[in-house]
Chains A and B, each alone.
Chain A
Amino acid sequence: MGSAVDDWFVSEVLVHEQALMRFLHRNWRDHDEVPDLRQEVYVRVYEAATRRVPDSPKSFLFATARNLLVDRVRHQRIVPITAVGDIEQLHVMQDELEPGRWLGGREALARLARALDRLPDRCREVVWLRRIEDLPQKEIARRLGISEKTVEKHIAKGSRMLANHFHGGSDTNAAPGKARRERAWLSKST
């Protein structure tokens, strides 16, 4: 770790995840697929950066996301007219072109605090003891009377949930209610 591209990716790309997720949710009908799309966008951006680091990371990120959606629509078998209308002229909304999330101080801490509070009880305890109190995993296991393997699992789960909430602004990075509504476009009856 710690290569120049890795650092660039974390400091210039990941900070826009919330805006990216908003963009994907708004422009992609099936919200369950959004985390996969996000991953694919990151892969494309990262791969491009290993050849040449883009001058404007945010524009490049959204251009990549847009292209991915266009590719996906072309390969999709059924395309609702609204999706195509949007895809053909996918705008990056103004709020997505604002400067990246400011990570300097209180905002970042508040976001972390909220992310931590979203964890299930035991997971939250483990993450707290590990991250804030710097206790080794072995010591946490002893103190909470659980196995080291279980501590490891809590850490793994906690890191995923923290990442989704901290970067993307949600636990699951999905909006199930909206997805359900938008899938209702195919009606059937007798």
Chain B
Amino acid sequence: MTDNHRQIERDAALWLARRDAGGWSDRQQAALDAWLAGNVAHRVAFLRLEAAWDEAARLKTFAAGDVAGRIPARGEWACSPYFAPSINSERAVMRDRRAASHKRRRWPAFAGIAASLLVAAAVAGGFVWRDYTHVDRAAWKTAMGAREVVHLPDGSTATLGSETDVRMAFSRGERDLELTRGEAFFDVAHDAVRPFVVRANGYRVTAVGTRFDVRRDAGQLRVVVTRGLVRLQSAHDPAKPPAMLPAGSIATVAGDDVAISQVSMDEAREALSWRNGFVVFHRTPLAEAVREFNRYNTRQIVIADSSLDGLRVGGNFKLDNSDAFVRLMQAVFPVQAELRDREIVLTRKSRAHTAH
């Protein structure tokens, strides 16, 4: 951006008005030429004003025949049979356009990703499983801030989040995956005879043909199901009845406690925004929001004052940009950030803040 448009527009208007005043000398013209040549922004601003100013002279055709010096009242134009139809019709057109633009809906970015995962699954689906005794093993590990899509040999895909470890052992009888760290979203190829099992935090998350997300936190496990049906079962205590999670479920597991909530599909998908590099907050406590960023960024955010934990945050953020998040927090909350090499420390702003 060269300069503020308002200032440039004002300057351009002054040049135009001065030239219009008459008695314009060559020296003044030279000065105007220099101003115009100095910056393309000057030139386009001037051209724009000049064009409208020149056009305005065409109103003479309307005024022709009118008494000189009599300035018509506002809206008097519209009463003229010459003008009336076009003014009204143009207004109607503008109204229609406004209405039309409101009707348009935005495509969620998610749809594109989902579609590409489907295509990937379909392409990989041609794989033929021949060796009955063979166990197909592989392991993946992602760095902090990474996101990676892995194509599994059965045609399923796994999208791995930041700092995630996944081990695969696919045999004739079972598709076994172990999530030892982090978070992964699975788009599971249908295979009725081989259950697709993700083991994490002492639980078995089992699917047949579905989409779901498994995430490990310190001592916690979260499962989000966006399609199909998932069975959540304790690995240590097979006697415990499994929980069945239909699409739109979010299950949070801490030790023996399993909490299941049913949410809309939009909410369930929102919980998976990380796959597109985003995180979505709705009145989320600051402490929780900070944890999300810390999953993805080496420079950790530390809340030094626990009275800030409960501030609620809303909005969509880029996961890899915790700096921006912190700047915003400082702008809207009584929060002060100290930037250090490896961390960002949040404290309460000392002076009184009334906006909260």
Binding site for B on A (CB under 8 A): 1, 6, 9-10, 14, 17, 22, 26, 35-36, 38-40, 42-43, 46-47, 77-82, 84-86, 88-89, 93, 95, 103, 106-117, 124-125, 127-133, 136-138, 148, 151-153, 155-157, 159-160, 162-163, 166-167, 169, 185-190
Q: Decide: B325 and A78 in contact? CB cutoff 8 A.
A: yes
| Interchain Cβ contacts within 8 Å, total number | 218
Q: Decide: A166 and B52 in contact? CB cutoff 8 A.
A: yes
Q: Decide: B49 and A160 in contact? CB cutoff 8 A.
A: yes
Contacts of A78 in B (CB 8 A): 315, 317-318, 321, 324-325, 327-328
Contacts of B310 in A (CB 8 A): 190
Q: Which of B13, B36, B106, B315 is within 8 Å of A157, CB to CB? A: B13
15 A-B pairs in the complex with CB atoms less than 8 angstroms apart: A42-B48, A46-B40, A47-B40, A80-B316, A95-B100, A112-B58, A117-B77, A124-B74, A156-B10, A159-B49, A163-B52, A166-B55, A166-B56, A189-B283, A189-B312
Kindly provide the distance from the CB of B229 to the nearest chain A CB, expressed in whole angstroms: 28
Contacts of B280 in A (CB 8 A): 81
Query: Beyond A17-B48, A138-B22: 11 further Cβ-contacts under 8 Å?
Result: A38-B5, A42-B44, A43-B44, A81-B278, A125-B71, A131-B60, A133-B68, A152-B14, A162-B56, A187-B313, A189-B283
Contacts of B4 in A (CB 8 A): 36
Q: Decide: A77 and B324 in contact? CB cutoff 8 A.
A: yes
Contacts of A188 in B (CB 8 A): 311-314, 332-333, 356
Contacts of B83 in A (CB 8 A): 106, 109-110, 113
Q: Decide: B17 and A159 in contact? CB cutoff 8 A.
A: yes
User: Contacts A136-B22, A152-B18 hold; do A186 and B328 have CB atoms under 8 A apart?
Assistant: yes
- Closest residue to A94 on the B side, CB-wise? B100
CA–CA, A90 to B14, complex, Å? 37
Contacts of B22 in A (CB 8 A): 136-138
* 5 closest Cβ pairs, A-B complex: A187-B314, A81-B316, A77-B324, A156-B13, A163-B52
